[in-house]
Amino acid sequence: MTSLADTWGLHDAQFWLRGERPERPVEYDATTGVWNVYGYAETVELLSDHATFSSDTGRLIPEAAGFTEGNLPQLDPPEHQKLRKLVSHAFTPKVVADLEPRIAEVTAELLDGITDRTELVDDLAYPLPVIVIAELLGVPTDDRHLFKRWVDAMFAQTQKFSLVDPSEEQARQFEDALEQVGHLTAYLGEHVAERRRAPREDLLSKLVTAEVDGERLTQAEVVNFAMVLLIAGHITTTMLLGNTVLCLDAHPEQGAEVRADRSLVPAAIEESLRFLSPFAAASRATTREAVLGGQVIPADQVVLPWLAAANRDPAQFADPDTFDVHRHPNPQLGFGRGIHFCVGAPLARLEGRVALNMLFDRFPALRCDPDDRPEFLGSPNLTGVRRLPLLTR
Protein backbone atom coordinates (compact mmCIF):
# COMPACT_ATOMS: atom_id res chain seq x y z
CA MET A 1 0.00 0.00 0.00
CA THR A 2 1.36 3.46 -0.83
CA SER A 3 1.78 5.45 2.35
CA LEU A 4 1.39 9.22 2.59
CA ALA A 5 5.16 9.30 3.12
CA ASP A 6 5.66 7.80 -0.36
CA THR A 7 3.12 10.16 -1.89
CA TRP A 8 4.91 13.09 -0.29
CA GLY A 9 8.39 11.76 -1.16
CA LEU A 10 9.71 11.74 2.41
CA HIS A 11 13.32 10.72 3.07
CA ASP A 12 14.00 6.97 2.52
CA ALA A 13 15.77 6.71 5.90
CA GLN A 14 12.54 7.65 7.72
CA PHE A 15 11.09 4.14 7.48
CA TRP A 16 8.73 4.69 10.46
CA LEU A 17 6.75 7.10 8.29
CA ARG A 18 5.99 4.24 5.90
CA GLY A 19 4.40 1.94 8.46
CA GLU A 20 7.61 -0.08 8.81
CA ARG A 21 8.88 -1.10 12.26
CA PRO A 22 12.47 -1.48 13.42
CA GLU A 23 13.63 -5.01 14.24
CA ARG A 24 14.56 -3.88 17.73
CA PRO A 25 13.80 -0.72 19.72
CA VAL A 26 17.54 -0.06 20.10
CA GLU A 27 19.94 -0.90 17.26
CA TYR A 28 23.60 -0.35 16.57
CA ASP A 29 24.28 0.75 13.00
CA ALA A 30 27.75 -0.48 12.05
CA THR A 31 27.73 1.56 8.84
CA THR A 32 27.41 4.85 10.74
CA GLY A 33 28.89 3.86 14.12
CA VAL A 34 25.84 5.26 15.87
CA TRP A 35 23.22 3.71 18.18
CA ASN A 36 19.65 4.36 17.07
CA VAL A 37 16.84 4.35 19.61
CA TYR A 38 13.40 3.92 18.04
CA GLY A 39 11.16 2.65 20.86
CA TYR A 40 8.98 5.05 22.85
CA ALA A 41 9.74 3.59 26.30
CA GLU A 42 13.47 3.42 25.51
CA THR A 43 13.50 7.02 24.24
CA VAL A 44 11.81 8.25 27.40
CA GLU A 45 14.22 6.21 29.56
CA LEU A 46 17.21 7.67 27.71
CA LEU A 47 15.99 11.28 27.86
CA SER A 48 15.30 10.91 31.58
CA ASP A 49 18.87 9.84 32.38
CA HIS A 50 21.14 12.77 31.59
CA ALA A 51 23.94 11.39 33.76
CA THR A 52 24.38 8.37 31.47
CA PHE A 53 23.22 9.99 28.23
CA SER A 54 25.03 13.30 28.13
CA SER A 55 24.13 16.14 25.77
CA ASP A 56 27.79 17.04 25.31
CA THR A 57 28.12 15.23 21.99
CA GLY A 58 30.93 17.54 20.85
CA ARG A 59 33.24 15.22 22.79
CA LEU A 60 32.59 12.45 20.23
CA ILE A 61 31.46 14.32 17.13
CA PRO A 62 34.28 16.68 16.21
CA GLU A 63 31.96 18.64 13.91
CA ALA A 64 29.66 19.41 16.87
CA ALA A 65 32.53 20.74 18.99
CA GLY A 66 33.45 24.39 19.31
CA PHE A 67 30.02 25.75 20.13
CA THR A 68 29.58 24.29 23.58
CA GLU A 69 29.78 27.55 25.53
CA GLY A 70 26.28 28.85 26.06
CA ASN A 71 24.86 26.21 23.69
CA LEU A 72 21.96 25.15 25.90
CA PRO A 73 21.00 21.90 24.15
CA GLN A 74 24.59 20.64 24.43
CA LEU A 75 25.09 21.42 28.11
CA ASP A 76 24.81 19.01 31.03
CA PRO A 77 24.00 19.89 34.63
CA PRO A 78 25.00 21.97 36.53
CA GLU A 79 25.75 24.47 33.69
CA HIS A 80 22.56 23.51 31.92
CA GLN A 81 20.26 24.49 34.81
CA LYS A 82 22.04 27.77 35.33
CA LEU A 83 21.65 28.89 31.73
CA ARG A 84 18.19 27.43 31.30
CA LYS A 85 16.99 29.46 34.29
CA LEU A 86 18.01 32.61 32.44
CA VAL A 87 15.63 32.02 29.54
CA SER A 88 12.88 29.92 31.02
CA HIS A 89 11.20 32.99 32.49
CA ALA A 90 11.07 34.49 28.97
CA PHE A 91 8.98 31.56 27.73
CA THR A 92 6.57 30.75 30.55
CA PRO A 93 2.96 30.17 29.44
CA LYS A 94 1.98 33.55 30.96
CA VAL A 95 4.75 35.55 29.27
CA VAL A 96 4.09 33.75 26.00
CA ALA A 97 0.32 34.31 26.26
CA ASP A 98 0.99 38.06 26.36
CA LEU A 99 2.57 37.74 22.91
CA GLU A 100 -0.71 36.62 21.35
CA PRO A 101 -1.83 40.07 20.09
CA ARG A 102 1.53 40.67 18.40
CA ILE A 103 1.51 37.17 16.86
CA ALA A 104 -2.02 37.83 15.54
CA GLU A 105 -0.94 41.19 14.13
CA VAL A 106 2.06 39.73 12.29
CA THR A 107 -0.06 36.84 10.99
CA ALA A 108 -2.74 39.24 9.71
CA GLU A 109 -0.14 41.34 7.89
CA LEU A 110 1.36 38.25 6.28
CA LEU A 111 -2.05 36.90 5.24
CA ASP A 112 -2.97 40.29 3.71
CA GLY A 113 -0.42 39.61 1.00
CA ILE A 114 -2.11 36.37 -0.12
CA THR A 115 -4.53 36.36 -3.07
CA ASP A 116 -5.83 33.29 -4.95
CA ARG A 117 -2.84 31.06 -4.31
CA THR A 118 -0.06 30.90 -1.77
CA GLU A 119 3.19 29.10 -1.13
CA LEU A 120 2.53 28.76 2.58
CA VAL A 121 6.13 28.39 3.73
CA ASP A 122 7.31 31.59 2.05
CA ASP A 123 4.18 33.56 2.81
CA LEU A 124 3.49 32.56 6.42
CA ALA A 125 5.16 29.50 7.94
CA TYR A 126 8.69 30.88 7.63
CA PRO A 127 8.22 34.61 8.27
CA LEU A 128 5.85 34.33 11.25
CA PRO A 129 8.10 32.45 13.70
CA VAL A 130 11.29 34.14 12.51
CA ILE A 131 9.76 37.62 12.97
CA VAL A 132 8.48 36.68 16.45
CA ILE A 133 11.80 35.28 17.69
CA ALA A 134 13.83 38.10 16.07
CA GLU A 135 11.63 40.68 17.83
CA LEU A 136 12.01 38.86 21.16
CA LEU A 137 15.78 38.76 20.81
CA GLY A 138 15.92 42.31 19.46
CA VAL A 139 17.54 41.72 16.06
CA PRO A 140 16.11 43.43 12.95
CA THR A 141 13.34 41.36 11.36
CA ASP A 142 14.29 42.75 7.95
CA ASP A 143 17.48 40.70 8.15
CA ARG A 144 15.48 37.49 7.99
CA HIS A 145 16.56 36.77 4.40
CA LEU A 146 20.12 36.59 5.76
CA PHE A 147 19.14 34.14 8.54
CA LYS A 148 17.37 32.03 5.91
CA ARG A 149 20.45 31.75 3.75
CA TRP A 150 22.67 30.87 6.71
CA VAL A 151 20.28 28.53 8.46
CA ASP A 152 19.19 26.67 5.29
CA ALA A 153 22.84 25.82 4.62
CA MET A 154 23.24 24.56 8.20
CA PHE A 155 20.48 22.01 7.67
CA ALA A 156 21.36 21.02 4.12
CA GLN A 157 22.61 17.59 5.22
CA THR A 158 20.85 14.99 3.08
CA GLN A 159 22.52 11.76 4.20
CA LYS A 160 22.53 9.75 7.38
CA PHE A 161 25.31 11.06 9.60
CA SER A 162 28.22 8.59 9.83
CA LEU A 163 31.04 8.50 12.37
CA VAL A 164 32.65 5.46 10.71
CA ASP A 165 32.81 6.38 7.09
CA PRO A 166 32.16 10.07 6.64
CA SER A 167 31.61 10.67 2.93
CA GLU A 168 33.15 13.59 1.06
CA GLU A 169 29.63 14.97 0.76
CA GLN A 170 29.16 14.81 4.56
CA ALA A 171 32.48 16.58 5.11
CA ARG A 172 31.57 19.24 2.53
CA GLN A 173 28.13 19.81 4.06
CA PHE A 174 29.63 20.13 7.57
CA GLU A 175 32.23 22.57 6.32
CA ASP A 176 29.57 24.64 4.63
CA ALA A 177 27.40 24.52 7.76
CA LEU A 178 30.33 25.73 9.89
CA GLU A 179 30.94 28.59 7.49
CA GLN A 180 27.29 29.64 7.84
CA VAL A 181 27.49 29.37 11.64
CA GLY A 182 30.47 31.73 11.37
CA HIS A 183 28.37 34.30 9.49
CA LEU A 184 25.55 34.04 12.01
CA THR A 185 27.82 34.31 15.07
CA ALA A 186 29.60 37.33 13.55
CA TYR A 187 26.23 38.95 12.90
CA LEU A 188 24.93 38.26 16.41
CA GLY A 189 28.30 39.27 17.90
CA GLU A 190 27.81 42.78 16.56
CA HIS A 191 24.34 43.05 18.07
CA VAL A 192 25.56 41.67 21.40
CA ALA A 193 28.41 44.20 21.49
CA GLU A 194 25.91 46.96 20.79
CA ARG A 195 23.72 45.82 23.71
CA ARG A 196 26.72 45.89 26.02
CA ARG A 197 27.12 49.55 25.14
CA ALA A 198 23.41 50.35 25.32
CA PRO A 199 21.05 47.71 26.76
CA ARG A 200 17.41 47.75 25.61
CA GLU A 201 14.24 45.93 26.61
CA ASP A 202 15.01 42.74 24.71
CA LEU A 203 16.30 39.23 25.29
CA LEU A 204 19.79 39.97 23.96
CA SER A 205 20.17 42.75 26.54
CA LYS A 206 18.90 40.42 29.27
CA LEU A 207 21.49 37.81 28.32
CA VAL A 208 24.23 40.46 28.26
CA THR A 209 23.37 41.87 31.68
CA ALA A 210 22.27 38.64 33.42
CA GLU A 211 24.45 37.20 36.13
CA VAL A 212 24.92 33.51 36.89
CA ASP A 213 26.53 32.91 40.30
CA GLY A 214 27.55 36.56 40.39
CA GLU A 215 29.24 36.43 37.00
CA ARG A 216 28.14 37.75 33.65
CA LEU A 217 28.05 35.47 30.61
CA THR A 218 31.03 35.63 28.26
CA GLN A 219 30.67 37.02 24.75
CA ALA A 220 30.80 33.49 23.27
CA GLU A 221 28.14 32.27 25.72
CA VAL A 222 25.73 35.08 24.87
CA VAL A 223 26.31 34.73 21.12
CA ASN A 224 25.89 30.93 21.07
CA PHE A 225 22.85 31.11 23.32
CA ALA A 226 21.26 33.74 21.06
CA MET A 227 22.08 31.65 18.00
CA VAL A 228 20.35 28.59 19.49
CA LEU A 229 17.26 30.66 20.30
CA LEU A 230 17.16 32.26 16.88
CA ILE A 231 17.54 28.95 15.02
CA ALA A 232 15.47 26.71 17.32
CA GLY A 233 12.90 29.50 17.56
CA HIS A 234 11.85 29.31 13.97
CA ILE A 235 12.90 26.34 11.81
CA THR A 236 10.82 23.76 13.63
CA THR A 237 7.78 26.02 14.00
CA THR A 238 7.91 26.65 10.25
CA MET A 239 7.75 22.89 9.75
CA LEU A 240 4.96 22.49 12.31
CA LEU A 241 2.73 25.05 10.55
CA GLY A 242 3.25 23.54 7.10
CA ASN A 243 2.93 19.95 8.31
CA THR A 244 -0.32 20.62 10.17
CA VAL A 245 -1.97 22.29 7.17
CA LEU A 246 -0.80 19.40 4.99
CA CYS A 247 -2.04 16.71 7.41
CA LEU A 248 -5.48 18.32 7.62
CA ASP A 249 -5.60 18.60 3.84
CA ALA A 250 -4.71 14.92 3.48
CA HIS A 251 -7.51 14.03 5.94
CA PRO A 252 -10.34 16.23 4.64
CA GLU A 253 -13.00 14.98 7.06
CA GLN A 254 -10.82 15.89 10.03
CA GLY A 255 -9.87 19.15 8.31
CA ALA A 256 -13.56 20.09 8.04
CA GLU A 257 -14.18 19.06 11.64
CA VAL A 258 -11.32 21.20 12.96
CA ARG A 259 -12.50 24.19 10.91
CA ALA A 260 -16.00 23.79 12.32
CA ASP A 261 -14.86 23.25 15.92
CA ARG A 262 -11.81 25.38 16.65
CA SER A 263 -11.40 23.90 20.11
CA LEU A 264 -9.81 21.00 18.19
CA VAL A 265 -6.95 23.15 16.83
CA PRO A 266 -4.54 22.46 19.75
CA ALA A 267 -5.19 18.71 19.46
CA ALA A 268 -4.56 18.89 15.69
CA ILE A 269 -1.21 20.56 16.44
CA GLU A 270 -0.24 17.83 18.95
CA GLU A 271 -1.22 15.11 16.48
CA SER A 272 0.75 16.81 13.73
CA LEU A 273 3.80 16.88 16.04
CA ARG A 274 3.36 13.15 16.60
CA PHE A 275 2.53 12.16 13.03
CA LEU A 276 5.24 14.29 11.35
CA SER A 277 7.69 15.25 14.11
CA PRO A 278 9.73 18.20 12.78
CA PHE A 279 12.83 17.54 14.89
CA ALA A 280 13.10 13.82 14.12
CA ALA A 281 16.14 12.98 16.26
CA ALA A 282 18.05 14.38 19.22
CA SER A 283 21.58 13.19 20.04
CA ARG A 284 23.38 12.06 23.17
CA ALA A 285 26.77 10.62 24.19
CA THR A 286 27.10 7.80 26.74
CA THR A 287 29.25 8.65 29.75
CA ARG A 288 29.33 5.01 30.90
CA GLU A 289 28.09 1.60 29.86
CA ALA A 290 24.31 1.48 29.69
CA VAL A 291 21.65 -1.16 29.12
CA LEU A 292 18.77 0.09 27.02
CA GLY A 293 16.09 -2.01 25.32
CA GLY A 294 18.05 -5.14 26.23
CA GLN A 295 21.18 -3.89 24.42
CA VAL A 296 24.46 -3.10 26.11
CA ILE A 297 25.72 0.28 24.92
CA PRO A 298 29.36 0.89 25.84
CA ALA A 299 30.64 4.20 27.20
CA ASP A 300 31.54 7.00 24.76
CA GLN A 301 29.01 6.11 22.09
CA VAL A 302 26.82 8.44 20.07
CA VAL A 303 23.15 7.61 20.62
CA LEU A 304 20.30 9.08 18.58
CA PRO A 305 16.86 9.01 20.19
CA TRP A 306 14.52 9.12 17.17
CA LEU A 307 11.60 11.09 18.58
CA ALA A 308 9.77 10.74 15.27
CA ALA A 309 10.03 6.93 15.35
CA ALA A 310 9.07 6.76 19.04
CA ASN A 311 5.99 8.77 18.10
CA ARG A 312 4.99 5.90 15.77
CA ASP A 313 5.65 3.11 18.29
CA PRO A 314 2.58 0.81 18.40
CA ALA A 315 3.48 -0.17 21.98
CA GLN A 316 2.58 3.41 22.97
CA PHE A 317 0.11 4.66 20.34
CA ALA A 318 -2.80 2.62 19.00
CA ASP A 319 -2.86 2.74 15.16
CA PRO A 320 0.26 4.91 15.13
CA ASP A 321 0.13 5.43 11.37
CA THR A 322 -3.34 6.92 11.53
CA PHE A 323 -3.63 10.69 11.85
CA ASP A 324 -6.32 11.27 14.46
CA VAL A 325 -7.08 14.66 15.98
CA HIS A 326 -9.15 12.89 18.65
CA ARG A 327 -6.17 10.91 19.96
CA HIS A 328 -6.31 11.28 23.72
CA PRO A 329 -4.06 11.21 25.62
CA ASN A 330 -1.35 12.13 23.14
CA PRO A 331 1.98 12.07 24.99
CA GLN A 332 3.92 12.80 21.79
CA LEU A 333 7.66 13.41 22.10
CA GLY A 334 8.02 16.06 19.40
CA PHE A 335 9.29 18.59 21.96
CA GLY A 336 11.55 16.04 23.67
CA ARG A 337 11.38 15.02 27.33
CA GLY A 338 13.38 15.56 30.52
CA ILE A 339 15.65 18.45 31.40
CA HIS A 340 16.09 19.56 27.77
CA PHE A 341 12.35 19.60 27.03
CA CYS A 342 11.81 22.36 24.48
CA VAL A 343 11.88 25.71 26.20
CA GLY A 344 9.93 27.24 23.30
CA ALA A 345 7.05 24.73 23.32
CA PRO A 346 4.46 27.22 24.67
CA LEU A 347 5.49 29.74 22.01
CA ALA A 348 5.38 27.19 19.17
CA ARG A 349 1.95 25.98 20.29
CA LEU A 350 0.64 29.52 20.48
CA GLU A 351 2.01 30.49 17.07
CA GLY A 352 0.45 27.33 15.64
CA ARG A 353 -2.95 28.01 17.18
CA VAL A 354 -3.10 31.67 16.13
CA ALA A 355 -1.84 31.03 12.59
CA LEU A 356 -4.14 28.08 11.89
CA ASN A 357 -7.23 29.84 13.20
CA MET A 358 -6.54 32.94 11.14
CA LEU A 359 -5.79 30.90 8.02
CA PHE A 360 -9.08 29.01 8.38
CA ASP A 361 -11.00 32.25 9.00
CA ARG A 362 -9.61 33.98 5.94
CA PHE A 363 -9.59 31.08 3.49
CA PRO A 364 -12.51 28.67 3.90
CA ALA A 365 -11.57 26.87 0.64
CA LEU A 366 -7.84 26.53 1.36
CA ARG A 367 -6.48 23.32 -0.17
CA CYS A 368 -3.38 21.76 -1.75
CA ASP A 369 -2.75 22.60 -5.38
CA PRO A 370 -3.14 19.30 -7.29
CA ASP A 371 -0.81 20.61 -10.03
CA ASP A 372 1.97 21.73 -7.71
CA ARG A 373 3.01 19.12 -5.14
CA PRO A 374 4.40 19.89 -1.67
CA GLU A 375 8.13 19.38 -1.18
CA PHE A 376 9.85 18.21 1.99
CA LEU A 377 13.25 19.13 3.42
CA GLY A 378 15.97 16.67 2.38
CA SER A 379 17.53 15.99 5.79
CA PRO A 380 16.92 12.57 7.42
CA ASN A 381 16.85 14.32 10.82
CA LEU A 382 14.05 16.72 9.98
CA THR A 383 10.49 16.12 8.82
CA GLY A 384 8.90 19.20 7.37
CA VAL A 385 7.59 20.83 4.25
CA ARG A 386 9.94 23.12 2.41
CA ARG A 387 7.28 24.23 -0.11
CA LEU A 388 3.54 24.00 0.29
CA PRO A 389 1.61 25.45 -2.66
CA LEU A 390 -2.06 26.03 -1.80
CA LEU A 391 -5.13 27.31 -3.59
CA THR A 392 -7.23 29.73 -1.59
CA ARG A 393 -10.47 29.82 -3.68
Binding site for ligand HEM (CB under 6 A): 72-73, 84, 91, 133, 228-229, 232-233, 236-237, 240, 278-279, 282, 307, 334-336, 340, 342-344, 347-348
Residue in the shown chain whose Cβ atom is closest to ligand HEM: 344
In this complex, which beta carbon is closest to ligand HEM, that of residue 327 or of residue 340? 340
In this complex, which beta carbon is closest to ligand HEM, that of residue 233 or of residue 380? 233
In this complex, which beta carbon is closest to ligand HEM, that of residue 232 or of residue 258? 232
In this complex, which beta carbon is closest to ligand HEM, that of residue 118 or of residue 272? 272
Nearest approach, Cβ of residue 273 and ligand HEM (Å): 6
In this complex, which beta carbon is closest to ligand HEM, that of residue 345 or of residue 391? 345
- Asked if 285 and 54 touch (Cβ cutoff 8 Å), the reply is yes
In this complex, which beta carbon is closest to ligand HEM, that of residue 130 or of residue 208? 130
Nearest approach, Cβ of residue 195 and ligand HEM (Å): 18
Nearest approach, Cβ of residue 1 and ligand HEM (Å): 28
Nearest approach, Cβ of residue 111 and ligand HEM (Å): 20
Nearest approach, Cβ of residue 86 and ligand HEM (Å): 11
In this complex, which beta carbon is closest to ligand HEM, that of residue 153 or of residue 276? 276
b/e 47-77 (16+ beta carbons within 10 angstroms → b): beebebbbbbbbebeebbeebbbbbbebbbe
Nearest approach, Cβ of residue 296 and ligand HEM (Å): 23
Nearest approach, Cβ of residue 19 and ligand HEM (Å): 22
